[in-house]
Structure 1
Amino acid sequence: MIIDAHQHFWDPARADYPWMNAPELAPIRRSFGPADLAPLLKENGIDASIVVQCRSALDETEEFLRIAHATPSVIGVVGWVDLTDGALGDTLDRLRAVPGGNKLVGIRHQVHDEADPDWLLREDVQRGLTAVFAHDLAYDFLVRSRELPAAITTAQAFPQARFVLDHAAKPPIAGGGSTEWSDRIAALGACGNVWCKISGLATEAVWNDWDAERLLPFVQHAARCFGEDRLIYGSDWPVCLLAGSYGEIKDALEACLAKIGPQVRDKAFGVNARVAYRLA
């Protein structure tokens, strides 16, 4: 099974997405749903996908579970819950009980938008993570270099938990990279309970001036840090459309992974996501 482990659905006419207000994001400020994604999956040989949260709202998680229940190709949902909720365990039990609740595989919060770089280390957040892991869910780190130290400490604090780093922590590709990013991602990769998504990289490059060769050094570094068993492919559709078509993004990342090794490519496009998210 070939899996796109990171894609989104949204409709700005029905809900507010604060991060989408920047003028340069106007091309993707419209509705994207399962009917838009289905032909792209078929054209690109993708069997299934995991839909990932876009806003900090429980009703979005509930909506994604309904979509997953009605859409066989959506095999997992990484949703949002309030990690500071003192009754989070009850909330997770309720989500698991609704139609599609069996497809809830992970939780995510937009940590890189928090003012505090150590937000993950707050006592109430750590308590919430304990509830997430007690429900056998993974947790997606949405962080940049600034928040990586807190992510490293968190991964070390929960050695039996499963973490997935989104977008390889958004390396500063347009600026040529940084030793801060490369060193910190290496430290996170040393935690054996963290997987790394090779996703969202083209939009960290110059949108109209990138190719697979420019992404390759960053993919190679992630591969050195996480190894062939902990790299996961994701398109980051429709955010990726800012930099290229679904097919262009998929082909570029596949080319990068294949240069590292065919087995690396094959694992990143399926089995590693199944292990990280415990997909049925």
Structure 2
Amino acid sequence: MRIDAHQHFWDYNSERYGWIEDKAIQKDFAPEDLKPLLDLHGFDGCIAVQADQSEEETRFLLNLAAEHNFIKGVVGWLDLSAENIEEKLAQYAKNKSFKGLRYTVYDEWGEFMVDRRFQNGISKLSKFGLVYEILVFPYQLKGAIELVNRFPEQRFVLNHMGKPEIFENASEDWKEGIRSLAQNKNVYCKISGLLSAAGKREWGLQDFYPFLDFVFENFSEDKIIFGSDWPVSLSGGSYAQAVDVIENYLSAQDENLLRKVFGENAKKFYRL
């Protein structure tokens, strides 16, 4: 099974998706737009990930998954700090497409990850077999490390390799964060968001390789997952380029590793 484990759908409006600065993607993106790209590159399906902190979007994505069987799972958003979070999780977990939750980190140091109420919500996820996707910047990795150390049985995946600055030397904060997270058997890493990080600047394959090298040196090949980050990735290049960066990087490796990174690890992590 070949899986694109990180992409988004949205009905665009400027208020809800105010974080989208690139005018080229300030429009709707639907399953009908993605399916031909998945087919062209041999993908059997995808994981749709939240792009807005709302329960409404979670329901929107689950409805899309019900209509399109190539959407193999949905990572949505619920208020993990809410008093009724266990009740909410029980409700959503009845839907087989509901695989877990993600928060978009905006506070300066990611303090909410170590907040007692938020961690209470995290503590309920494993009961329902749900994952948590960690989206942080390098300077917020310490909060993520504290979070995963607190919950060694919870399945976590680091999104976008911890968002390193692609056109700068890897920071010590990022390196130490990757090293620490990789030591946890329950933490996976998505090699995703590379073109999104490059944005409108000209890039070459070699710009990404030092960061990919470091991730592969630290994370087991059984815990690394590919994701295109489409359509956000269109800010830096085409869907084909998002795939080609990783396929070119792994071109000298054996087919077994490619199968793991491009699907088998995602299948295991999301229990597809």
TM-score range, shorter chain: over 0.9
**Letter of the structure 2 residue corresponding to residue 201 of structure 1:** L
**2:260 counterpart residue number:** 267
**1:278 counterpart residue number:** 271
Q: Tell me, in whole angstroms, the C-alpha distance in 2 between the residues paired with 1:114 and 1:256.
A: 34
Alpha-carbon deviation of 1:201?
A: 1.2
Structure 1, unaligned runs of 5 or more: none
**Letter of the structure 1 residue corresponding to residue 19 of structure 2:** W
Q: Tell me, in whole angstroms, the C-alpha distance in 1 between the residues paired with 2:148 and 2:258.
A: 25
Is residue 108 from structure 1 mapped to residue 105 from structure 2 by the alignment? no
Alpha-carbon deviation of 1:114?
A: 2.0
**1:153 counterpart residue number:** 146
**2:194 counterpart residue number:** 201
Deviation string 1:163-214 (CA, Å, 9 cap, x unpaired) is: 0000000111122322221121111111111000000012223534112222
Q: Tell me, in whole angstroms, the C-alpha distance in 2 between the residues paired with 1:12 and 1:163.
A: 29
Deviation string 1:224-266 (CA, Å, 9 cap, x unpaired) is: 1111000000000000001110011101111113345543322
Is residue 16 from structure 1 mapped to residue 9 from structure 2 by the alignment? no
**Letter of the structure 2 residue corresponding to residue 109 of structure 1:** Y
Is residue 251 from structure 1 mapped to residue 244 from structure 2 by the alignment? yes
Deviation string 1:133-156 (CA, Å, 9 cap, x unpaired) is: 221101000011111111111111
**2:3 counterpart residue number:** 3
Is residue 37 from structure 1 mapped to residue 31 from structure 2 by the alignment? no
Structure 2, unaligned runs of 5 or more: none
Secondary structure in 1 aligned to 2:222?
A: coil
Alpha-carbon deviation of 1:14?
A: 8.7
What is the TM-score normalised by the length of structure 2? Answer: 0.95
**Letter of the structure 2 residue corresponding to residue 144 of structure 1:** F
Q: How does 1:163-178 map to 2 (within 5 A)?
A: 163-178=156-171
Aligned partners of 2:190 and 2:226 also within 8 Å: yes
Aligned partners of 2:126 and 2:154 also within 8 Å: yes
Q: Tell me, in whole angstroms, the C-alpha distance in 2 between the residues paired with 1:43 and 1:74.
A: 16
Aligned partners of 2:110 and 2:136 also within 8 Å: no
Alpha-carbon deviation of 1:46?
A: 1.0
Is residue 89 from structure 1 mapped to residue 86 from structure 2 by the alignment? yes
What is the TM-score normalised by the length of structure 1? Answer: 0.93
Deviation string 1:14-43 (CA, Å, 9 cap, x unpaired) is: 9611312x3xx1111100000100111111
**Letter of the structure 1 residue corresponding to residue 77 of structure 2:** W
**1:141 counterpart residue number:** 134
Q: How does 1:22-101 map to 2 (within 5 A)?
A: 22=21, 25-97=22-94, 101=95
Q: Tell me, in whole angstroms, the C-alpha distance in 1 between the residues paired with 2:150 and 2:85.
A: 19
Q: Tell me, in whole angstroms, the C-alpha distance in 1 between the residues paired with 2:168 and 2:199.
A: 9
- Identity of counterpart residues, as a percentage? 37
Q: How large is the Cα RMSD of the aligned pairs?
A: 1.5
Deviation string 1:103-157 (CA, Å, 9 cap, x unpaired) is: 111110012x123432100000000101122211010000111111111111111
